[in-house]
């Protein structure tokens, strides 16, 4: 069908009085470009974007969930996709279940990190409720486990491997990721680096290296526009 359309267009151009209008080539969609940064975060967008936005967030944080549900799509569609702003998510751990779900989400790889994070946030009330309802016997059993075993058990309680499976992470891969001491240390170091720089809560947004005091899209967007020179 595409070849036929090209042939028709070419034929029309030969008819006296006919005109053809060339369509501009579609601009690049930078939201499909996701890489792991040297700091360990996942960055979406144009690496040469005029404005560089970093979020220190937690997948177990309800305020981060609110931003994801209200600000993530307009941020990506209006600023990241066009190449004006790059968006990097860096984990800031707040509890044990956060460690488990963060390790699994990162295990899915750069291309699937943000889609899986979106699902993790969407189901956050459900899997967090499982931890709220944990029995005293389970709590006692958790205390007897090693740190590595505890992370695996947190994932099992929250049904997290099943979530990861929807993004191509097999049960064996999930267990391997959850037991990866190097990956765990990377997350702990990322959190410590943030705390050492004065970041104490989630979400915290950093624009071009400057820490802001905003936590919602309504407050963040004006600052992005200002950073873009009013051309947001």
Average pLDDT over residues 19-24: 45
With 80 as the cut, is the pLDDT of residue 5 above it? no
pLDDT band at 231; cut points 50, 70, 90: low
In this structure, the dihedral spanned by the alpha carbons of residues 69, 199, 231 and 70, taken in order and rounded to 10 degrees, is: 10
Local structure of 184: helix, strand or coil: helix
Q: What confidence score (pLDDT) does residue 232 get?
A: 60
Question: What percent of the chain is predicted at pLDDT more than 90?
Answer: 87
Domain annotation for the chain: domains and CATH numbers: 33-227 (3.40.30.10)
With 60 as the cut, is the pLDDT of residue 15 above it? no
Distance (Å, whole) CA 158 – CA 178 = 13
Report the b/e string of 162-187 with b at 16+ CB within 10 A: ebbeebebeeebbeebbebeebbebb
pLDDT averaged over every residue in the chain: 89
Distance (Å, whole) CA 133 – CA 135 = 6
Q: What are the helix (H) ranges across 82-123?
A: 96-107, 110-122
Report the b/e string of 69-88 with b at 16+ CB within 10 A: eebbeebbeebbbbbbbbbb
Element (DSSP H or E) covering residue 72: helix 72-75
- Model pLDDT for residues 134-173, shown as the tens digit of each residue: 999 999 999 999 999 999 999 999 999 999 999 999 999 9
Q: Which of 26-35, 80-89, 106-115, 197-206 has the lowest mean pLDDT?
A: 26-35
Q: What six digits make up the tokens of 35?
A: 């890489």
Q: What confidence score (pLDDT) does residue 230 get?
A: 74
- Model pLDDT for residues 172-213, shown as the tens digit of each residue: 999 999 999 999 999 999 999 999 999 999 999 999 999 999
Q: What confidence score (pLDDT) does residue 11 get?
A: 33
Distance (Å, whole) CA 198 – CA 33 = 30
Q: pTM here? A: 0.86
Average pLDDT over residues 120-135: 96
> What is the DSSP pairing of strand 51-57 with strand 42-44?
unpaired
pLDDT band at 8; cut points 50, 70, 90: very low
With 70 as the cut, is the pLDDT of residue 44 above it? yes
Distance (Å, whole) CA 140 – CA 203 = 32
């Amino acid at each position: 069908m595409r070849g036929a359309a090209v042939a028709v267009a070419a034929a029309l151009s030969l008819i006296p009085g006919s005109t053809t209008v060339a369509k501009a080539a579609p601009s690049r969609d930078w939201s499909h470009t996701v890489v792991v940064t040297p700091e360990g975060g996942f960055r979406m967008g144009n690496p040469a974007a005029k404005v560089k936005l970093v979020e220190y967030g937690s997948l177990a944080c309800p305020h981060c969930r609110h931003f994801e549900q209200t600000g993530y799509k307009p941020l990506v569609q209006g600023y990241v996709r066009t190449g004006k702003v790059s968006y990097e998510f860096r984990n800031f751990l707040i509890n044990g279940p956060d460690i488990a779900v963060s390790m699994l989400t990162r295990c899915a790889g750069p291309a699937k990190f943000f889609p899986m994070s979106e699902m993790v946030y969407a189901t956050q009330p459900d899997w967090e409720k499982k931890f709220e309802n944990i029995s005293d016997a389970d709590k006692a059993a958790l205390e007897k486990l090693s740190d590595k075993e505890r992370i695996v058990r947190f994932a099992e309680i929250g049904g997290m491997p099943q979530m990861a499976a929807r993004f191509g992470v097999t049960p064996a891969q999930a267990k391997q990721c959850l037991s990866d001491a190097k990956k765990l240390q990377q997350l702990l170091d990322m959190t410590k680096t943030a705390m050492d720089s004065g970041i104490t809560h989630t979400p915290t947004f950093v624009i071009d290296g400057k820490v802001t005091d905003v936590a919602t899209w309504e407050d963040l967007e004006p600052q992005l526009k200002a950073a873009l020179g009013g051309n947001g």
